[in-house]
Structure 1
Amino acid sequence: MDAEQLINAITPEAYERLLFAVETGKWPEGTPISQEQRDSCMQAVMLYQSKYNDDAQHMSVAKGGEISFKSKADFKKQFQPGQEDIVRVNPNHDV
């Protein structure tokens, strides 16, 4: 099976399982994976992302194979739309 056939065979559900395995070292059911399995899963995840990832997260492979790096501030802003900057408040500080 070549890379294109592999990418086309991966469903979004299978991709989520592979991604979970890469991130945690085990399958969603809790079964541990070997380092060889983890390496293979990571290759499959990167191939899948290179074709379908239109919204690359912090340090991931974007569509087209480009590696995408987002700053921590950009990554945080993604979860709080409309907020220009994240302000840290010290609750123990008197104003």
Structure 2
Amino acid sequence: MSFQQVVANMPREVYERLRTAVELGKWPDGNPLTAEQKENSMQAVLAWQSMHNDNPEFMTIAKGGELVLKSKSELRRQFRDEQEITRLKPE
């Protein structure tokens, strides 16, 4: 089985664990990633995003392999349009 086939069949939960490990530099059990593990995990995360990421966030790879960089105004609009839970007035 090729790398691309493995990534294409990788469940979202595995992708999310790899992404978190790359972001934090350590596995969920606290052990640090080796340089090789970080490189391989990063490649798997980017490949998964290019195949499955229909709703890309800021600085991610969209489905089809396109790099997505959202501007500040796009991010503000995105968060402004989300349902507000509560708003407090400081005293």
2:18 equivalent in structure 1: 18
- The structure with higher relative contact order (CA 8 Å, sep 6+) is 2
Contact (CA 8 Å) 1:51, 1:63: kept in 2 or not? yes
What is the RMSD computed on CA atoms of the aligned residues? Answer: 2.0
Distance in 2, Cα, partners of 1:80 & 1:24: 28
Unaligned 5+ runs, structure 2: 83-89
Distance in 2, Cα, partners of 1:37 & 1:60: 20
Contact (CA 8 Å) 1:21, 1:28: kept in 2 or not? yes
Cα separation, partners in 2 of 1:74 and 1:7, compared to 1, 3 Å: same
Contact (CA 8 Å) 1:58, 1:68: kept in 2 or not? yes
1:87 equivalent in structure 2: none
Distance in 2, Cα, partners of 1:43 & 1:73: 29
Q: Find the residue that maps to 1:80 and give its secondary structure.
A: helix
Contact (CA 8 Å) 1:26, 1:33: kept in 2 or not? yes
When normalised by structure 1's length, the TM-score is 0.77
1:55 equivalent in structure 2: 55
* Displaced runs of 4 or more, over 6 A: none
Aligned residues: 84
Cα separation, partners in 2 of 1:28 and 1:77, compared to 1, 3 Å: farther
When normalised by structure 2's length, the TM-score is 0.80
Aligned residues: percent identity? 46
Unaligned 5+ runs, structure 1: 83-90
Contact (CA 8 Å) 1:7, 1:48: kept in 2 or not? yes
Larger radius of gyration: 1
CA shift for structure 1 position 14: 0.3
